[in-house]
A and B are shown apart, each in its own frame.
Chain A
Amino acid sequence: MNIVVCVKVTPSTAAKIKVGASGVSIDKQGVEYEINPYDAFAIEAALQHVEANGGEVTLLSLGAEGSTKDIRNGLAMGAVKAVHLTDDNYELRDSFSVAKALADELKSLQWDAIFFGKQAVDSDNYQVPSMVSALLELPVANVCSTAEFRDGKFRAIRAVEGGTEIVELSAKCCISFTKGPKEPRFPTIPNIMKAKKKPLDQKAAPAVENRVKVTKLELPPPRPAGRIVGEGPEAAKELARLLREEAKVI
C-alpha cells in the first residue's frame, strides 16, 4: 500500500511570534522551523502501515523553498521520496488554495491512501484534509488516533465530542491524524545520511487564487495586569469572593 503524507513545515511551537514588515505574516528572523507536529504523527502512522502491509511512503509538501531541509527530516524518518511544491508566500494562501494545489498534484501521484496531520500549528485552519477529500471525491476521517488496515478497508478511531467513533473507510481515502499511541520516530544519523540521497522533486506550486485573504496580522492585546491575591490556602476565600463579586464568573 502506497501512502502519500501531506506535510507542512511550520514554526516550532516554542517560537515567539512577531509580526513581519508586511503586516500580514510573521517575522521569520530567528524562528526555527520543523515538520508540523501533527504531520509527524501522520508520517509515523504511514510508516507503520507500510512496515506491516508493504508499499512506500511519499511526502507532499507545499512551502517555502528553504524548507527542503525540514522535509528531508521526514525522508530520514523513512519516507522514500518527496514532492516539494514551492511558494515563498505559502503563508498567505488560504486553506482552499493549499488544498487545490495539493489535490491537483495528487492526481499525478501514485497512492492508495492520503494521510495528513489534523491541523497545521501555524494557520490552525484544520480544513485541508476535508477540502482535499471533497476535491478528489474521497471518503475522509479526521482527527484519528489510529487507522488499522484490515480486509481491504481502514478502521480508524477518532475522538468526537462525547465519545470515540470507529469508522470504516474504503482503502482509497483521506485520513487526518492527531497524537497516536506511538511517538513519531527520531531519524537516526545513518537515516539522515541516506535521506540526503532520496529523490526530492522540487517545482513551483501552482497559483490558486485565495477566496479568503489575510489583510492584517497582529499580536493579541496584552492582558490587563493581574494581581496576587495572597499566599497559601488562606488566600482561597478571598479568591472565591473576587471570582463571584468582582469578575462575576462563578
Chain B
Amino acid sequence: MSTILAIAEARDGALKSVSFQVVSEAKRQAAKGGHTVEALVIGAGVAGKAAELAAYGATKVHVAEVASYSTDAYARIAANVAKSIGAVAVFIPATAAGKDFAGQVAVALDTGLCADVVSIAHDGGKFSARRPVYAGKAVATVELATSPFVVTLRPNVFPAENATGSAEEVVVDVSGLTPRVSVKEFQKSALTRPDLAEASIIVSGGRGIKGKAEGSEDQVKQTVAENYKLIEALADKLGAAVGASRAVVDSGWRPHRDQVGQTGKTVSPNLYVACGISGAIQHLAGMSSSKVIVAINKDPEAPIFQVATYGIVGDLFEVVPEFAKEVEKVINS
C-alpha cells in the first residue's frame, strides 16, 4: 500500500475549496490502487486543519507553518514530504500558486509533471490524465509512466466528496529553509469577488459594453467603466467573478488579469455569462468547457450563440439589468 500526497491550499489561514476537490480526487484514485491519502498544507496559520481534510479522505495531515509564499520553499517542503512518505503521486491544485511551484517539485523528485488535468484514469496499474491544450481547442491524453508523478488539477472540475474518518496532524520541520526569492511587499487587492480561475460562476463583458461611448480615449474608458457596473452588479447578485474578452482588455478598459481566452485565462465554471461578447476563436477556446453558457448579444449571428446553452438576443444594456433583477428574485425565492 502506498500513499498519494494531496496538497491543500489556504488563504488567510482558511482552506480554499479547491483543497477539498484535490483531496477527494486523490481519495478516488487511491481507492482504485488500495492507496491512502495524506495531505499537506503550507502557509501561515494553517495548523488545526486535520479534521477538515479528513472529512474528504485524508488519513494524515502534514502542516508546514511558513510566514509567506515562496516558490522554492513551497516546492522543497512538498518534495521533502513526498519523499519522506514515499508518495506514488503528488496532487497539486492548478491555482496560481500550484502552477508556480509544481515544476520545481517535479524536478526535486526527478520525475514528470502533467499540468492542469481535468480527469485522471487508473487502468491496469497505469495512470493517465486528460488535459486541455491550445487553451481548450484540443484535449490531450497523457500517460504518467514515472513513479512518483506530479499532476496539477484544474479547480472546479473534480467534485469534492465527503468521506468518513479522522486524520492525525503532523508538523513539518521547516527550519533551515532559506527562500531564494523574498517577497518585499504584498498588496492585497481590494476586490471582494472570487478569483477568475477558481470561480464557479463568471460574468464577462465584451466589446458590446462600449455601447454608445464616444469622445477621447479617456472619455470612452470612463463611460465603459460606468457601463461595466451593469456586469459587476449581475456578478455580485450571482456571487460571480468578473471577466472580459480580449477586445476589452486590449482597449485598456479592463486589466489583463480579467481576460478570458487563449492569451488570458482558460476557465471551466459551472455558469459562464457572456455579455456583448461576439465569440472570437481565442475567447471560445478559453471558456467552452464551462458547464452552462449564457450568451446575451444583439447580433443573432454572433459565434458565441453556437456554444451557448441559453441565449438572449438583445441589447445588453436592456437585458443585463433585467436579468440581474430576475436572478435576485429566483435566488431569494
Q: Which residues does A use to contact B, with CB under 8 Å?
A: 11, 13-17, 19, 24, 26, 37-38, 94-96, 99, 121-131, 133-135, 138-143, 145, 155, 159-170, 173, 178-179, 210-220, 223-224, 226-233, 235-237, 239-244, 247, 249-250
Contacts and interface: CB of A to CB of B under 8 A. Distances in A.
Interface in B242-267: 256-257, 262-263, 266
B99 A126 contact: yes
Nearest to B76: A134
B312 A228 contact: yes
A226 B322 contact: no
A173 B182 CA distance: 13
Given A126-B99, A249-B291, A95 B72 contact: no
B311 A226 contact: yes
A115 B138 CA distance: 28
Given A211-B106, A235-B314, A247-B292, 19 more contacts: A19-B138, A38-B263, A95-B113, A124-B115, A162-B188, A166-B184, A166-B187, A223-B288, A226-B308, A226-B309, A227-B311, A229-B312, A230-B313, A233-B322, A236-B325, A240-B330, A247-B291, A249-B270, A250-B271
B91 interface: no
B310 A127 contact: no
B135 A124 contact: yes
Nearest to B197: A161
6 contacts: A96-B106, A127-B102, A140-B71, A161-B97, A223-B293, A233-B319
Contacts of A227: 309-311
Contact of B262 (A121, A139, A214, A223): A121
B180 interface: yes
A215 B143 contact: yes
B102 to A, nearest CB: 7
Contact of A250 (B72, B136, B327): B327
B307 A95 contact: no
A232 B311 CA distance: 10
A99 B96 CA distance: 20
A160 B195 CA distance: 10
Contacts of B146: 211-212
B141 interface: yes
Contacts of B318: 232-233
B201 A124 contact: no
Interface of B: 11, 69, 71-72, 75, 95-97, 99-104, 106-108, 111-116, 128, 131-146, 149, 180-189, 195, 197-198, 201, 238, 256-257, 262-263, 266, 270-271, 281-282, 288-289, 291-294, 300, 305, 307-315, 318-319, 321-323, 325-327, 329-331
Contacts of A212: 112-114, 142-146, 149
Contacts of A165: 69, 183, 185-187
B330 A250 contact: yes
B142 A239 contact: no
Given A226-B308, A226-B310, A230-B312, A134 B139 contact: no
B197 to A, nearest CB: 8
Q: Which secondary structure dominates where chain A touches chain B?
A: mixed
B138 A217 contact: yes
Nearest to A216: B141
Given A124-B133, A131-B104, A17 B309 contact: no
Contacts of B107: 96, 99, 130-131, 134-135
Nearest to B246: A13
Contacts of A179: 256, 263
A141 B282 CA distance: 27
B37 to A, nearest CB: 21
A128 B318 CA distance: 46
Contact of B132 (A38, A124, A239, A244): A124
A13 B262 contact: yes
Contacts of A233: 314, 318-319, 321-323
A236 B310 CA distance: 11
Given A134-B108, A227-B310, A247-B292, A215 B138 contact: no
B67 to A, nearest CB: 14
B133 A162 contact: no
Contacts of A127: 99, 102-103, 106, 113, 115
A38 to B, nearest CB: 8
B266 A219 contact: no
A168 B143 CA distance: 38
A139 B113 contact: no
B183 A121 contact: no
Contacts of B137: 16-17, 219-220
Contact of A169 (B115, B181, B201, B325): B181
B314 A232 contact: yes
Nearest to B9: A161
Nearest to B309: A226
Given A163-B188, A236-B325, A11 B134 contact: yes
A142 B72 CA distance: 12
